[in-house]
Amino acid sequence: MQSTTTAIVHTVLAGLLALCVSVPSAAQNSDAVTTVDNLHAALLDIMKNAKTLGYSGRRDRIAPVVEASFEMVFITRFTLGRYWADLGTEQQATMVDALRRWTIAHYASRFDGYSGERFETISSKPARKGRELVRTVLVVNNDVADNVSLDYLLEVNEGTWRIVNVVANGVSDLSLKRADYGAIIKTEGVDSLLARLNGQIADLESDQ
């Protein structure tokens, strides 16, 4: 009788222990996926209502979602690489703001129509250093060859999962920006990069 009771207690304890271990990681997974799903839902929304919203409407609608979904300080810091440390606090904040506006402008500009596309979340798995990799695909039409794989790397900060990198068909947005921006800073300086970012944002607005 005593051994049966002990066995039950052990089983319950083991079960509780398993819950303690598994629940947080399961919750983390779903939270990271939620961040990506929210971004995709907002993108589909501006795609479907592209014409009625216009560029400024799409920009205003996607802006708060981008702000909530992306870890812009991290992204800017990584993108500027070794040049980040050379900037003062104010300059760093200016660059973070420029990259945020640039990201919003490009989403608003590129996702400007809808012809049956949909996003599918394929998997979510832990990456190194507590990060999470959410793999998704943008299904463009019936030809599988035209689909775009979109892998999101997320980091948790103060309980919120935010995107730190987007890898599209194997091409990392962060690495591209780091190389491209680094080349400009190296030859022309940070002020030139800032001017170019602002110029591109203005071009996107005026093109609409």
End-to-end CA separation in angstroms for the chain? 79
Q: Indicate the residue among 63 and 193 with the shorter CB distance to another protein.
A: 193
Interaction between residue 106 and another protein (CB under 8 A): yes
Nearest Cα to 172, choosing from 34, 75, 28, 64? Answer: 75
Minimal distance, residue 1 CB to another protein, in Å: 51
Work out which of 144, 158, 159, 206 binds another protein, going by CB under 8 A: 144
**Residue with Cβ nearer another protein (32 or 204):** 204
Q: Nearest CA to 179 among 169, 164, 168, 193?
A: 193
d(Cα 192, Cα 20) in Å, to the nearest integer?
51
Cα separation, 105 vs 99, in Å, equals 10
Give me the sign of the Cα torsion angle 196, 198, 199, 204. positive
**Applying CB under 8 A, does 117 fall inside the site for another protein?**
yes
Stretch that binds another protein, among 1-9, 15-23, 29-37, 176-184 (CB under 8 A): 176-184
Interacting residues with another protein between 28 and 87 (CB under 8 A)? 47, 77-78, 81-82, 84-85
Q: How far is the CB of 169 from another protein (least distance, A)?
A: 3
